Amino acid sequence: MIMGKRIRKLPSFRSFRWQVPSTSRIFILFNVFLVTVIGGLSVVLALAVSSEPDIRYSGGGGKDSYAHAEEWMSHIRDAFEQDQLNRLSIEPSDIRDLAFYLANRVRVSGKKAIAITGIESQLREKAVVIRASLRSPLIEKVYLNMTMTVSEHEDLPELDSVKIGKVSFPGWLLRFSFKNMLLPLLPDEQAKFWKTLTGSVKAFDITPRRITLVYRSGKELRQQLKASAMSLMLGSPEEKEAIQLYLDVLAAAAVQQQGSDLQLSRLLHTLVGLARARSSEGGSAVKENERMLRALAIQLADPSTRVFLAPGMKPYPLSRPILLRGRKDLSQHFMVSAALALTLDEESALNIGVSKERSDARAGGSGFSFPDLVADLAGIRFAVIATEDEARARWLQDFILQNKGEHIFMPEVSWLPQGLTTSAYEDLIRHPLYPAMLDRILRRINSLPLNQDG
């Protein structure tokens, strides 16, 4: 009787039909969840990204900007050599220049992680508002327009809010997410570095004119900063070794080249041969071409530019200049612009070249030089072809090896005016004849054998 009562109290299997979902019901629920998540992320992404930047290039990213940032960073490096309290004064122009400087050094798997098209900062009482437009080097015409507000809280910096496109994130949510979700996922060394870095800040003050930061430098922070700088700015040790190999071969080729001067076209021919051999052994032609161009730029660039292109790497002292169209400055313009196109992008590299010429046109300068501008444009075009994709990169290697001479990648410049100054016209870029001259230059470059369809 007792057993019978127990059996009668057990629920029937029919009563479980809503408690135990069938396989098809689980599948439906999973797909509904997946669609909801994807839909939500798509909405957030659509609200976050834009097809146009809110802020465009406005003084940051030029040669003077990078020189200013490098000088600023050198003061910080000197301060870190001592175990002491340091005071740092930051103005809006410092924020702009440092942002361009640092963004162009950050690499992910040897590739540039992000590009800044423009940045502005506004200092208020106890708060700073930074607006920036960012672009991914991998996706064309996709921008992130960001606004970040940092305030002074109990004499320390605190993130108040971040707005990306039309999506706003409160500071408390970002701080909570970083501390409890992101930080635990970081490798131990990076997590330790972050804690040491934030712990070194002792005071923080914002006024409408400047930001004042007081921090303590020490041996531990110094070592961690150097390790992080090496990984972010120089890339992997293998990358540095590969570029060094190109520099070694370049120096050896320079010794063997006959004549009173070194010809860039002949050195380029040798280094392209090395790039072709390395990429034929299973390597990437695009990667090898990038390394080749960086090595040539390191050899030719002046110190202030070289430290931006490849910090920590030095050229070989050569007894003879490297010439392009009979001029040393043209080889510098050509190769540095090519490397800048890799490090930044085509537009930014050209902006730097134009800014340099406009600066030279002012009183005391060497004057605006159209031949220099031609070399800039030709170098940028060379870099684009050399790294466009694997097929195009290999085509360029074969083309250079099968065709000798500088005429295949650099037009004649003797017909172009140079030494122009603002005494004749305030801004030569806005001169009525400038567009026509630029059009003629581009036609010459487009007609070069290298720029014909391969």
What pLDDT tens digit does each residue of the chain (454 aa) get?
A: 444 444 344 444 444 444 445 556 666 666 666 677 666 666 656 677 777 888 876 555 555 676 677 666 666 666 666 677 878 888 888 888 888 777 766 655 555 667 788 888 888 888 889 888 887 666 667 788 888 899 888 888 888 998 888 888 888 888 888 888 777 877 776 677 677 777 778 888 888 888 888 877 766 666 656 555 545 444 567 888 899 999 999 999 999 988 778 999 999 999 999 999 999 888 899 999 999 999 999 999 988 777 767 767 889 999 899 999 999 999 999 999 999 888 777 877 787 787 777 777 776 667 788 889 899 999 999 999 999 999 999 999 999 999 989 999 999 998 887 766 666 555 566 666 778 888 888 999 999 999 876 5
Give the three-class secondary structure for 215.
Answer: strand
Question: Which residues are CB-neighbours of 304 under 8 A, at least 6 positions away?
Answer: 63, 66, 67, 70
Residue 322: the pLDDT is 94
Calpha distance 42→36 (Å, rounded): 10
**Nearest in space to 379 (alpha carbons), one of 402, 350, 407, 415:** 350
Largest Cα–Cα distance in the chain? 116
Residue 266: the pLDDT is 94
Burial class (CB within 10 angstroms; exposed 0-12, middle 13-18, buried 19+) of 408 = middle
Residue 18: the pLDDT is 44
CB of 421 closer than 8 Å to CB of 367: yes
CB of 450 closer than 8 Å to CB of 385: yes
Q: Which two tokens stand for residue 125?
A: 């009482």
pTM (two decimals):
0.59
Q: How many residues does the chain have?
A: 454
Give the three-class secondary structure for 205.
Answer: strand
**Nearest in space to 302 (alpha carbons), one of 270, 329, 273:** 329
Q: Which amino acid is at 380?
A: I
Calpha distance 288→393 (Å, rounded): 9
| CB count in 10 Å sphere of residue 287 | 19
Calpha distance 295→339 (Å, rounded): 9
Residue 451: the pLDDT is 85
Calpha distance 22→246 (Å, rounded): 64
Calpha distance 196→223 (Å, rounded): 11
